[in-house]
Amino acid sequence: MTSILNAPHFHDEDAAYAYVETHLWPNGPVCPHCGNCDAAKIGKLNGKTTRAGLRKCYECRKPFTVKIGTIFEDSHAPLRYWLQAIYLMCSSKKGISTRQLQRTLGVGMKTAWFMGHRIRHAMAPAAPGKLGGPDVTVEADETYLAKSPKTRKAPGTALNAKPAPQVFSLIERGGDIRSMYLDDRNVRGAMVKHLDDRSRLVTDGSTVYKFVTDKHESVDHSKYEWARGDVHTNTLEGFFSIFKRGLVGVFQHIDKKHLDRYLAEFDFRMNTRSKLGIDDVQRTEIAIAGFAGKRLQYKTAH
Ligand SMILES: [Zn+2]
């Protein structure tokens, strides 16, 4: 038995490029400058002093690597360290802190922070459509990120203080999850935007879910009713529990403006969960395949 961490792409820069190219260019190299993908018109530069993965397009005469147009562009960190970071994030159920990345990779704090956030950003779906559909059951639930589940405000906070941040999620049974930080957005607005109204909706007894769709069933937690047949929100309660344990144990404090990116990371792992037959290596490959064209969105996010 061989450790996954022995894989050459974690240690050798040329192997790291070859690995990323396999997943980002499944049909061969594509020139990011002019779109040329004719293998006969793209050369590989192999000089002794040439950077790893360097190619030249004979259509537009420009050089490029697989990093251009992705979250790796403009990063001085070796690609093999990026692959280590992505693997760690994809294989840790509760995520991995910036400090842990810093220690494990032996990079600076700022580099570790940027790597973590770029990877999180790239884990978000590129074109998120609505969840659910005809004959699809979708759970909806929301939770407060307070220290205790019983208090929405920490003890001693002023009465007019803002309540703890609230997170809202939708999940298709056996399918995808989508989570968001409810800033000034509200549950109803989020549902209109993210839920296909032909879905069958199951929720707790909260009044915010009433009349969203006529195919709505709920359990009444205030009457100690947690499940009635398949009407329950246990899938989301399990997810919230993992997210909160991640927050407490791994991330300590999360700036609210980054909360959506952490949620994208936890959503990504949930959408590629082992229950769906996806292992850590496959999850890492799915993450990398999704990195194409994610760079600009990262810039606008700042
Ligand atoms: Zn070109």
What per-residue confidence (pLDDT) applies to 155? 59
Q: Which residues contact 142 (CB under 8 A, 6 or more apart)?
A: 166, 167, 168, 169, 182, 187, 206, 208
How many angstroms is it from 144 CA to the middle of ligand 1?
50
How many angstroms is it from 39 CA to the middle of ligand 1?
11
How many angstroms is it from 54 CA to the middle of ligand 1?
13
**42-53: per-residue pLDDT in tens?**
998 887 778 889
**181-237: per-residue pLDDT in tens?**
987 668 888 999 999 999 999 999 888 888 778 899 999 888 888 888 999 999 999
> Judging by beta carbons within 10 Å of its beta carbon (0-12, 13-18, 19+), is residue 20 exposed, middle or buried?
buried
Of 15-24, 111-120, 241-250, give the lowest mean pLDDT range. Answer: 241-250
Give the span between the Cα atoms of 20 and 37, in whole angstroms.
17
What per-residue confidence (pLDDT) applies to 100? 92
Nearest 5°: phi and psi at 137?
A: -95, 130
How many angstroms is it from 264 CA to the middle of ligand 1?
33
How many angstroms is it from 36 CA to the middle of ligand 1?
5
Yes or no: say if 131 and 196 are a contact pair by the CB < 8 Å rule: yes
Average pLDDT over residues 40-63: 89
Give, in order, the Cα–Cα distances in Å from 292 to each of 119, 129, 187, 194, 299.
12, 18, 31, 24, 14
How many angstroms is it from 230 CA to the middle of ligand 1?
54
Average pLDDT over residues 276-302: 79
How many angstroms is it from 293 CA to the middle of ligand 1?
16
- At 115, list the tokens: 């790597």
Average pLDDT over residues 88-110: 94
How many angstroms is it from 26 CA to the middle of ligand 1?
18
Residue 257 pLDDT > 70: yes
What proportion of the chain, given as a percentage, has pLDDT over 70? Answer: 89
- pLDDT-derived band at 301, boundaries 50, 70, 90: very low
Of 100-104, 176-180, 246-250, give the lowest mean pLDDT range. Answer: 246-250
How many angstroms is it from 35 CA to the middle of ligand 1?
6
How many angstroms is it from 214 CA to the middle of ligand 1?
53
**139-168: per-residue pLDDT in tens?**
999 998 876 555 455 556 565 566 678 899
How many angstroms is it from 28 CA to the middle of ligand 1?
14
Give the largest CA-CA distance in the chain.
Answer: 73
pTM, 2 dp = 0.89
Amino acid at 114: F
How many angstroms is it from 59 CA to the middle of ligand 1?
5
Residue 300 pLDDT > 70: no
Residue 302 pLDDT > 90: no
How many angstroms is it from 302 CA to the middle of ligand 1?
29
How many angstroms is it from 63 CA to the middle of ligand 1?
8
